[in-house]
Amino acid sequence: MKLHLKIWRQKDASSKGQIKEYPLNGVEGDMSFLEMLDVLNEELINKGEEPVEFDHDCREGICGSCSLQINGEPHGPDRMVTTCQLHMRKFKDGDTIVIEPFRAKAFPVLKDLIVDRSSFDRIQQAGGYISVNTSGNTVDANAIPIEKEKADEAMDAATCIGCGACVAACKNASAMLFTSAKVSQFALLPQGQVEATERVQNMVRQMDLEGFGNCTNTGACEIECPKGISLENIARLNREYLTASLKG
Amino acid sequence: MAVLDSKAPSGPLADKWTKHKNEIDLVNPANKRNIDVIVVGTGLAGGSAAATLAELGYNVKTFCYQDSPRRAHSIAAQGGINAAKNYQGDGDSNYRLFYDTVKGGDYRSREANVYRLAEVSSNIIDQCVAQGVPFAREYGGLLDNRSFGGVLVSRTFYAKGQTGQQLLLGAYAAMNRQINRGKIQAMNRHEMMDLVLVDGKARGIIARDLVTGEIERHSAHAVVLATGGYGNVFFLSTNAMGSNVMAAWRAHRRGAFFANPCFTQIHPTCIPVSGDHQSKLTLMSESLRNDGRIWVPKRIEDAKAIREGNLKPTQLKEEDRDYYLERRYPAFGNLVPRDVASRAAKERCDAGFGVNKTGEAVFLDFDAAIMRYGKEKALTSGMKDADNASVRRLGEEIIEAKYGNLFQMYEKIVDENPYKTPMQIYPAVHYTMGGLWVDYNLQTTIPGCYAAGEANFSDHGANRLGASALMQGLADGYFVLPYTIGDYLSNDIRTGTIPTDSPEFDAAEKDVKDRIAKLMGGKGTHSVDYYHKKLGKIMWNKCGMSRNAKELQEAIDEIAALRSDFWENVKILGSADTMNQELEKAGRVADFLELGELFAKDALTRNESCGGHFREEYQTPEGEALRDDENFKFVSAWEYKGAPKEAVLHKEELVYENIELKTRSYK
């Protein structure tokens, strides 16, 4: 198929960017979206033009590197997939596709389609862990039985890949879904109880410091999340936060 | 040859590690604060090592090329992690895990290392549960297990099909705790470009800031390389796009021996190649072989009809199907080790029984499992005479609960519903058993330079068993390296900070800058990918699932020629002092072009078949691997001497005191 691409080009963090147009022929339905960009880049290089830079790594939907806003939607039109798992069969011959980086104050653009998501790391550093030494001298794993349903729920929250689609989808650029996924994982497990108060307070404080917006419960994040992280996690974070506040 | 001292402790196998830990020197907590350690790579091995070293009190700097440590490719491991917990009461033990691993590796790994791995495996599970890793559980609230290839017990712990992700996020969380305390400085989007030696010891690295292009000097008292494997030398593999051999290869060029480069794992169950545009291959977890049955048509004309789209696989009657693994290996059936399953698939496809357009695919069929689970579920739900459709629906629900994310991934990529029609799969490059040679302490032949996880060669011999990579990465990082590195660092308590303004750092930085300038100065006719794809084709065709002397020699010559073409004609646009992904790729491909040749040379030197290394000249009449213990019971450790063809072979003879060497049989 033949496509008409409109792609955000930006030299570096301090330069102004702009949309540039590229026609592309010979795209096949079996190609992933990123493989389509590989084909474009090969063409650009052969023409002596600088290729389009974008974050990507595992190309199997789990590392969370890829971060493209495609026709206004994070990871494009398909549901429950990252950009690398989006296939060109979801598009038609002659389509125009607008490709931009994820947009948020806390995700500054570094080059072309690449953004800086280190704000996510700093939220995790503020409390996204259980303070247990890694010596291995803990109790036997089966000494902590956990109700299967709770364990499964914790697992569902833990599958967040930290891609930032939730932020890019949110009109407030809020990181509540991301932050709540980690808070929920530990809130649902007995191991997480000891530090629950501090954890939620510190992670929320860091989230605010990074310049993410507030949550107004529109639910766009849940729809665009490639891993189906549920809005229930945000409700759980709010409960945890309230409980922590009451404890002081 | 005397340079290769494994330093494996003497004494009974089960006591070696404890004895060693009791005898090695320690560094007191106050002195640890004066010692710096660099960890390159933040996957399971690097992340867990960095967290533990920082927790012990060392000052740690981590480096990764990704934008966050959480994105290292350990994240993509699906199926599970082994541990000799024997929670199922099915006869598992440290010895059995040790035995299975050595046998699975076709008797080419070091006994003492493998036993230690088995010994600490249980601790890994305890540790991860304490960290809040949400492993799968049974209804009673205890941990669940499943089976993997090459073993007869259920010892694999898992978190749906995302075990690697959950374990990596556990290690990343442990890192974050130390970053928050100021004990780890995480240098993300940084790539190690060279290792710096001072007085023969590893004392730092030269790194490139991938955002600004700046070349930086970082010093330390020891350097840990946990940079994964080199499967991307084949271009197409299940590795991440950025996975590369640069750090390990730079260390090799500075004096670290490279061991068993030709031992590569070709994983049997991957989604087949769909076209020339393909950039990577996707694994379908080995756990699927718990329930999936592998087959091709019995009659060649049926295979042809399926290929041409005139016959659907579901139309083929049971008696017209060849479940070739069950036929050839009745004891292990579909759960034979990966090397065996891959070769068997290739054998059927080469014989003309392949089932997709390219003739390079076999079926992985869940129909029997769906019906079996469905019947059981119907009975336990009180539906005594459920019809077929209901049984099928119930069975599909159970398969979905077990493997839902894998089935979804398959459907997104292939555009076929694997609940209704069998999956098509074919082997693909997945893991490299070879890597930097290390002794029992995980130290390379350069003092102060350590290698952990897939980057070293130590535990898997010529073939790795499923769910053992995660085990080894975390064992090295959490429980082995933090002890053994202390023994070395105990000599550095009075050294003080290593200066970065020394002539050694000057020289290393100049080398790096010259190399980048040379890459950028190519005449510019072909892209980096052009060369990478050509290299991949040579590797796959001549150094892949089966190898022979003639083609290996051809590969050596072709790779050398391609390498000189690359250095002359590669085309990299943009500049080196800014973000430049083509330049990043070029540096990595340049090293693959050297490693690939050494790989072929190693394969040519090893005149036997063992594990994933199958030499056509050395096989039994039934087509099984023919090992030669008399002449090849050693680890090949290559010393860099300039061009790969000049590399010098050193041998570490393998000693088996606790296991009798046998022909591996899964029949």
Q: What is the pLDDT of residues B171-212, one digit of tens each?
A: 999 999 999 999 999 999 999 999 999 999 999 999 999 999
Q: CA B63, CA B602: separation in Å to the nearest integer?
A: 30
Domains observed in chain B:
13-73+98-133+161-264+430-492 (3.50.50.60), 269-429 (3.90.700.10), 501-630 (1.20.58.100)
Q: Which of A126, A127, A192 lies closest to B132 in CB terms? A: A192
Which residues have C-beta within 8 Å of that of residue B291, sequence separation ≥ 6? B366, B369, B399, B402, B403
Q: CA B517, CA B513: separation in Å to the nearest integer?
A: 6
Tell me the chain A residues in contact with residue B173 when contact means C-beta distances shorter than 8 Å. Answer: 124, 128-130
Residue of A nearest to B483 (CA): A135
Tell me the chain B residues in contact with residue A47 when contact means C-beta distances shorter than 8 Å. Answer: none
Asked if B66 and A57 come within 8 Å (Cβ–Cβ), the reply is: yes
Q: What is the pLDDT of residue B401?
A: 85
Tell me the chain A residues in contact with residue B125 when contact means C-beta distances shorter than 8 Å. Answer: 141
Q: What is the pLDDT of residues B301-359, one digit of tens each?
A: 999 999 999 999 999 999 999 999 999 999 999 999 999 999 999 999 999 999 999 99
Decide: B66 and B242 in contact? Cβ < 8 Å: yes
Indicate if B338 belongs to the active site: yes
Q: What is the pLDDT of residue B3?
A: 67
The superfamily (CATH) of domain A3-111 is Beta-grasp domain (3.10.20.30)
Residue of A nearest to B76 (CA): A62
Query: CATH 3.10.20.30 spans which residues of chain A?
Result: 3-111
> Does the structure show a pLDDT above 50 at A205?
yes
> What single DSSP character describes residue B276?
T
The CATH topology of domain A118-137+145-247 is Fumarate Reductase Iron-sulfur Protein; Chain B, domain 2 (1.10.1060)
Tell me the chain B residues in contact with residue A55 when contact means C-beta distances shorter than 8 Å. Answer: 67
| pLDDT > 70 fraction of chain A, expressed in percent and rounded | 100
Alpha-carbon separation of residue B309 from B302, B305, B312, B315 (angstroms): 10, 6, 7, 12
Q: CA A60, CA B108: separation in Å to the nearest integer?
A: 32
Q: CA B263, CA B37: separation in Å to the nearest integer?
A: 30
Q: What is the pLDDT of residue B150?
A: 85
Asked if A58 and B275 come within 8 Å (Cβ–Cβ), the reply is: no
Asked if B579 and A110 come within 8 Å (Cβ–Cβ), the reply is: yes
- Selected for mutation to probe chain B from A123, A134, A142, A148 (highest B CB count within 10 Å) is A134
Asked if A38 and B529 come within 8 Å (Cβ–Cβ), the reply is: yes
Averaged over A199-223, what is the pLDDT? 97
- Selected for mutation to probe chain B from A62, A120, A159 (highest B CB count within 10 Å) is A62
Averaged over A28-56, what is the pLDDT? 97
Averaged over A148-175, what is the pLDDT? 97
Decide: B381 and B332 in contact? Cβ < 8 Å: no
- Tell me the count of A-B CB pairs closer than 8 A: 212
Q: State whether residue A210 sits within 8 Å of chain B by CB.
A: no
Q: What is the pLDDT of residue A137?
A: 86
Query: CATH 1.10.1060.10 spans which residues of chain A?
Result: 118-137+145-247
Arithmetic mean of pLDDT over chain A: 97
State which residues of chain B have pLDDT below 70.
1-3
Beta bridge partners of A117: none
Q: What is the pLDDT of residue A229?
A: 98
